[in-house]
Amino acid sequence: MTALLRMPNDFAPAVPSGLEAVVDPLRGLALAARDGESLAFTQLYERTRDQAWRVLFRVVGPSPDLEDLLQESYLQLMRALKSYRGESRVSTFLHRVCVNVGLMHLRSRRRRPEDPTDELPEHAGPETADPERAAQVQQAAQLVQRALSTMSSEKAEVFVYHDLLGLKPEEISVAVDCPVNTVRSRLNRARLDFTQAVTRLKLAGSAP
Amino acid sequence: MSHLSHDQLWIHAGSEDNELERAHARGHLAGCEACQSTLEEIRVARGALALALEPPVPELPRAVALRVGDALAERADARSVRSVRSWFAALFTPRLAFALATMLAVLLGAAWWLRTPAPEHAQPDQVAVRPDAPPAPVLPPPSALPAPPLPPPRHLTASITSASKARAQNGPAAKAQVLEQGASVVTERGGSAWLKLPDGSRAGLTSASSLTLATLEQAKLTLELQKGSVAMEVPHRADRLLTVQAGEVLITDLGTRFVVSRNESRVLVAVQEGAVDVATPGGKQTVKAGHAVAWHDGTLDALAWEPGPVASAPAATAGTSPSKLREEDEPEATPPLEAEPEPEEEPVRVAPPPSAAPEEWALPRGLTARDTSRDPNRVLLPPVNVPRPKRRLSLLELETKLDQLSRVFAGATMREGRVRSIAHAADVGDCAHAIPMADAWLHEPPTGFAEETRWRRVVLSQKLRCFERQGRAAEAMEIKRLLSQP
């Protein structure tokens, strides 16, 4: 379980090279994209799409909607860039957009019935040798996603950052722009809500 | 005994507490069923979380990345085109339109009030009233008086001072022909025409041009250029506004000599002397002597314009004979207006003072030749601070310079097109094609366009992408170094 608190390599910041250590390497591209340079936005997408994909996958799992969510995240980024002043890190902001887009998707999926005609995603992940284990993993992922969809957006956001993406409270504090102590107290309440939601869902699932 | 908090239990369930905390928690849990129950729930929740995070995140499929990238590129392109338009459209909110309309109404009212002479009513205390006189008629209250009608704007006329292969008002243009408001002057290929406007300004049409005198009023002169080029020699006068409308571009004179050229794809404004204001849907800009701007595809690009006379290169306009143009320019090199017969209707013409240089600009409104003859001591001077042009504009020189500028413009357009080709080749991964194209582009001499710096950065970025794809780290680092330079 301690592995959950470790920052996965997937979400570690890019290793800074000599040039990139000084400033946000994406700042210039974001400013150019804000000013209407379409090529700059394309380059911004190409340099950040893998990170955005990992964040979205962790939040919503292997869903056929991942492609739409990736596009929606960047469209929201495009709109948000209008007010970008070059003061915050673009990758941090993009992660927050992806987390919120993913959580919104989980909530909307909870409100609408499951569509049995959903196509299998082309990115379902590697096949496991143990089908029983694979079924348990899928069941657990669905349980986590349903529990997240019942939580408030503030708590769910902090919980995802800490327990799914492995960020430390200090990093979350920068990402969500609030004090570290607020992040800690919000995280405690989020864990309580998550536990209660999982318990409730398990009881509902085991009921005849 | 107080229960363990949910946070303590969450940490205990993950074995993240230290020895002391663990011992305390175990001691409490041994005797507290409620905390045991909560701990069990937490273990289930954390177990589900760990299980859900067990599979690794797969790589972003290439096909998905390309599909999303294509969709985003389309949206980004559309947004970059819309941004200028939406910025301009955003200015015209209903509230702003109402405010502007109100302000305009107030200004018009104030202008009318100031221009209307005060009624010369006798003051009551100045009238001797006899006791036996009949009572004076009672004036109706001011509100009952009919509002005096606004004076109609006084329409002036322009005239043609020289013309060759030109038509005016649906007939062949002739020297000294008077042109009313709304008249059009059209020159054929190889033709030219010089017009004199009522304020003394001059407009020269080059070959294959069409110009309409849209408004000829005392306070406002507006010319509309449909096609071709017009050279303007305009003294700045505060008592009237002279503008040239060329498609979406509105040029307002600030006392200058300038050229406006228009074709299907662009409008070009070049300033020989002084300055003009150039207003486009994208904004307003003041262009000074030695500079030119080109409006095309919704953007305004700055160009260099040599204000001095150009070398006597042959005019490259199709169908235009340089010798013919030079011949037509010759009369303009002589002192203007003196030898030309002027139409009698010309309202603001005056003979130049004998001792002064040939007068080129019209006199301020209200002064006529009769005034000078009646008051010989009165000295007629051109408006204060109006720079007098040292040398007349030559249509031949203008044709040549415009042709040179058009070539620069066309070269820049092609250069921009090649930037797109490089980016496209890099987008589709065709680095074997993109890198040589980028190298060739970078070795070409720059055009002097304001966009040149941005294009260079784009080309370098595409080259960087290709080097990174091909694993050429040293060359990629060199490009990064170049890109880091301002």
Q: Where are the alpha helices (DSSP H) in A115-165?
A: 131-150, 153-159
The pLDDT of residue B96? 82
Check A163 against B49: CB less than 8 A apart: yes
* Interface touch A2/B16, C-beta < 8 Å: yes
Would you give the distance in Å from CA A117 to the centre of its chain? Answer: 25
Report A:59-78 residues touching B (Cβ under 8 A).
61-62, 66-67, 70-71, 74-75, 78
Q: Are A31 and A86 in contact (CB under 8 A)?
A: yes
Contact: B69, A42; criterion CB under 8 Å: yes
Report chain A residues whose CB lies below 8 A from the CB of B10.
188, 191, 195
pLDDT at B482 (0 to 100):
86
Please give the residue of chain A at the shortest CA–CA distance from B56.
Answer: A125
| Closest CB from A49, A57, A124 relative to B65 | A49
Q: What is the pLDDT of residue B141?
A: 54
Token pair in block for residue A55 = 């964040």
* Alpha helical stretches, state H, B116-199: none
Residue B362: the pLDDT is: 32
Q: Which of residues 456-475 of B touch A (CB under 8 A)?
A: 458, 461, 465
- In this prediction, residue B3 carries a pLDDT of 87
Q: And the tokens for A144? A: 């986590």
One-character DSSP codes across B201-234: -EEEE-TT-EEEEEEEBSSEEEEEEEEEEEEEEE
As a dihedral over the C-alpha atoms of residue B270, residue B272, residue B278, residue B284, rounded to 10 degrees, the angle is: 110
Cβ neighbours for B239, distance < 8 A, ≥ 6 positions apart = B218, B219, B364, B365
Give B484→chain A minimum CA distance, Å.
8
Residue of A nearest to B479 (CA): A19
Q: Mark the ranges of chain B whose per-residue pLDDT is less than 50.
A: 120-129, 309-389
Predicted pLDDT at B266: 82
3-state secondary structure of B54: coil
Q: What residues have CB less than 8 Å from A198, skipping those under 6 apart?
A: A143, A144, A147, B41, B44, B45, B48
Which pLDDT score is estimated for B86? Answer: 60
Element (DSSP H or E) covering residue B427: helix B395-427
Task: For residue A188, give how far its alpha carbon lies from the nearest alpha carbon of chain B (Å).
Answer: 6
Q: Flag if B76 and A41 touch (Cβ within 8 Å).
A: yes
**Could you tell me where the DSSP H helices lie in B307-375?**
322-333, 369-374
Task: Tell me how close the Cα of B391 comes to any Cα of chain A, in angstroms.
Answer: 44
State whether residue A2 sits within 8 Å of chain B by CB.
yes
* A140 neighbourhood in chain B, CB within 8 Å: 47-49, 51-52
pLDDT computed for residue B139 by the predictor? 52
- Counting other chains too, the contacts that B419-427 makes at CB distance below 8 Å and 24 or more residues apart are B419/B455, B419/B458, B419/B459, B422/B458, B422/B459, B422/B462, B423/A39, B423/B458, B423/B462, B425/B462, B426/B462, B426/B463, B426/B465, B426/B466, B427/A42
Q: Count of A–B CB contacts within 8 Å?
A: 149
Q: List, in sequence order, every residue forming a beta bridge with B273; answer none if it has no partner.
A: B257
The distance of B66 to chain A (nearest Cα, Å) reads 9
> Of A61, A75, A195, which has the smallest distance from its Cβ to B41's Cβ?
A195
Chain B, 62-91: which have a CB under 8 Å from a chain A CB?
63-65, 67-69, 71-73, 75-77, 79-80, 83-84
Q: Which of A:76-95 have CB within 8 Å of B?
A: 78
CB of A46 less than 8 A from some CB of B: yes
Q: Which residues contact B209 (CB under 8 A, 6 or more apart)?
A: B186, B187, B225, B227, B228, B229, B230
Q: Residue A174, exposed/middle/buried by CB under 10 A (0-12, 13-18, 19+)?
A: middle
Q: Cβ–Cβ of A71/B63 closer than 8 Å?
A: no
Chain B nearest-CA distance from A200, in A, is: 10
Contact check, Cβ <8 Å, B480/A43: no
Q: Is A165 exposed, middle or buried (0-12, 13-18, 19+ CB in 10 A)?
A: buried
pLDDT of residue B102: 92
A30: closest CA of chain B, how far (Å): 12
- Compute the nearest-CA separation of B27 from chain A (Å): 22
**Subunit contact A43:B68, Cβ cutoff 8 A:** no
Residue A54 near chain B (CB below 8 Å): yes
Q: Which of A3, A67, A136 sits opposite B51 (nearest CB)?
A: A136
* Chain B residues closer than 8 Å to A163 by CB: 49
| Token pair in block for residue B289 | 């002597």
With an 8 Å Cβ cutoff, is B424 touching chain A? Answer: no
Task: With beta carbons less than 8 A apart as the criterion, state whether A53 and A39 touch.
Answer: no
DSSP assignment, residue A126? P
B279/chain A closest Cα distance in angstroms: 21
How many CA atoms are closer than 13 Å to the CA of B54, on its beta-carbon side?
Answer: 17
Residues of chain A neighbouring B41 (CB-CB closer than 8 A): 195-196, 198-199
Residue B138 contacts A where some CB pair is shorter than 8 Å: no
Testing the interface with B: which of A39, A55, A162 to mutate, by most B Cβ within 10 A? A39
| Pairing relationship of beta strands B267-273 and B202-205 according to DSSP bridges | unpaired
Q: Do A50 and B10 touch (CB under 8 A)?
A: no
What are the per-10-residue average pLDDT scores of chain A (208 residues)? 34 38 71 83 90 92 90 91 80 89 89 52 56 86 92 93 90 88 94 93 72
From A140's Cα to the closest Cα of chain B, the distance in A is 5
Write down the pLDDT at residue A16. 36
Amino acid sitting at position B6: H
Amino acid, single-letter form, for residue B303: L
Q: Do B16 and A1 touch (CB under 8 A)?
A: yes
